[in-house]
Amino acid sequence: MQYNPGWNNSSINLLHVRAVGPSDTLHYIWSSIGAPAVLLVATESSSSALRVNWTQLLSPAPAGAIWIDPPSSVAYSAAVVFTKLFEYSEAKTLEELFYPMYDLSDFSWDGINRTLNHTALTAEFTGIPAADPGGSFSNGSLAFRVTAYEASGRDGRLPSLLHTANSSKVEFVLAGVAPRGNGSRFVLEVATVEETGVVQKLRSARSIDDEYTPTIFEMLSLVAESHNDSSALSFLQWKATAYGSQTPRREDSIQCRSHGLQAANWTLPASAIVHAYFGESVGSTYTVSAINISFGGEDGKVYEEKRYLSW
Helix (H) or strand (E) holding 14: strand 14-20
pLDDT of 102 reads 96
**Nearest partner of 168 among 121, 200, 125, judged by Cα:** 121
Closest alpha carbon to 196 in 284, 262, 281: 284
pTM for the full predicted model: 0.94
**Maximum CA extent, the chain:** 61
Beta bridge partners of 96: 90
- Taking only the tens of pLDDT, the chain with its 311 residues reads 999 999 998 899 999 999 999 999 999 999 999 999 999 999 999 999 999 999 999 999 999 999 999 999 999 999 999 999 999 887 666 677 889 999 999 999 999 999 999 999 999 999 999 999 999 999 999 999 999 999 999 998 888 898 999 999 999 999 999 999 888 889 999 999 998 889 899 999 887 656 666 666 788 999 999 888 878 999 999 998 999 989 888 888 888 889 889 887 666 778 999 999 999 876 578 888 999 999 976 655 778 888 999 99
Nearest alpha-carbon partner for 13 in 57, 43, 51, 50: 57
DSSP state string for 40-66: EEEES-TT-EEEE-HHHHTSS--TTSE
Nearest-angstrom CA–CA distance, 41 and 202: 21
Based on its alpha-carbon atoms, the radius of gyration of the chain, rounded to whole angstroms, reads: 19
Euclidean distance between CA atoms 173 and 308, whole angstroms: 7
